[in-house]
């Protein structure tokens, strides 16, 4: 069976833009749902809506794959699933190690979606001696002292870091030195890596802060609208007074 150490996705060599690569998993998720419902074909408009993009962007993205739908018929769902899976490197085995088996690391270890998408959790690693040998998701946790041997023995090229922030960079350095070239970072810190190593950062607190920003803005807009309605025509008349650069709204957005 092929491993992640010796096979790399073809996206960069084929010149597919990074923005397109970032959308391919969205298309694959939508296509997989269609496949599970035994839907044979899908139009670009339907697939774009399911993936949350516009259809023109979808057609442009698929042109990089050499995939063009048939007019009046659409795209073959199963063929697209295969095409995108192959392009993302999901038609082969990718052994992954998870370092840091606290609450988050254990939750990741128990996530059933890895195996169905071509990722095999090869090892769970933690620095706490009390965790060594403890089964999590049916696998015994191994100590960080054995990290390099684990990476080598399993041909691992993808590492997941779920440690506290203070330990993340040291773990990252050891993973890279052992041959890991792609890292998914859940630790709330920015990692420094050499050229040739890819890092994807997942920070749930940042995502929540962005949502809080939008909620605050929506609340401000609703309050302004309520104030305008209560004040009546007099305020409405003055709301767009002239300034040196044109209309100046009475209530500036947050």
- pTM for this model (two decimals): 0.71
* pLDDT tens by residue, 223-236: 777 777 777 665 44
Contacts of the segment 16-22: beta carbons below 8 A, 24+ positions apart:
16/64, 16/65, 16/87, 17/64, 20/60, 20/61, 20/64, 21/88
pLDDT at 245: 52
* pLDDT tens by residue, 12-54: 445 889 999 999 999 999 999 999 999 999 999 999 999 999 9
Q: Which residues contact 106 (CB under 8 A, 6 or more apart)?
A: 136, 137
For residue 141, what are the β-bridge partners? 124
* pLDDT tens by residue, 59-76: 999 999 887 777 778 899
| Tokens of residue 163, six digits | 């440690």
* pLDDT tens by residue, 199-225: 999 988 888 999 999 999 888 888 777
């Amino acid at each position: 069976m092929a491993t992640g150490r010796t096979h790399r996705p073809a996206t960069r060599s084929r010149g597919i833009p990074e923005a397109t690569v970032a959308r391919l998993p969205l298309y694959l998720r939508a296509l997989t749902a269609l496949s599970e419902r035994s839907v044979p074909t899908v139009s670009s408009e339907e697939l774009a809506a399911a993936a949350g993009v516009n259809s023109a962007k979808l057609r442009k993205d698929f042109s990089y794959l050499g995939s063009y739908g048939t007019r009046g018929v659409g795209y073959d769902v199963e063929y697209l699933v295969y095409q995108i899976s192959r392009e993302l490197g999901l038609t082969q085995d990718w052994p992954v190690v998870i370092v840091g088996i606290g609450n988050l690391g254990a939750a990741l270890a128990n996530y059933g979606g890895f195996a169905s998408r071509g990722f095999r959790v090869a090892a769970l690693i933690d620095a706490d001696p009390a965790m060594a040998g403890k089964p999590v998701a049916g696998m015994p946790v191994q100590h960080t002292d054995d990290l390099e041997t684990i990476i080598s023995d399993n041909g691992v090229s993808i590492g997941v870091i779920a440690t506290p922030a203070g330990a993340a960079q040291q773990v990252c350095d050891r993973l890279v030195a052992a041959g890991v070239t792609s890292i998914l970072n859940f630790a709330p810190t920015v990692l420094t890596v050499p050229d040739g190593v890819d890092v994807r950062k997942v920070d749930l607190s940042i995502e929540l802060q962005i949502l809080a920003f939008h909620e605050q803005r929506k609340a401000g807009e609703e309050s302004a609208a309520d104030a305008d309605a209560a004040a009546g025509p007099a305020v409405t008349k003055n709301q767009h007074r002239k300034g040196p650069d044109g209309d100046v709204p009475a209530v500036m957005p947050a």
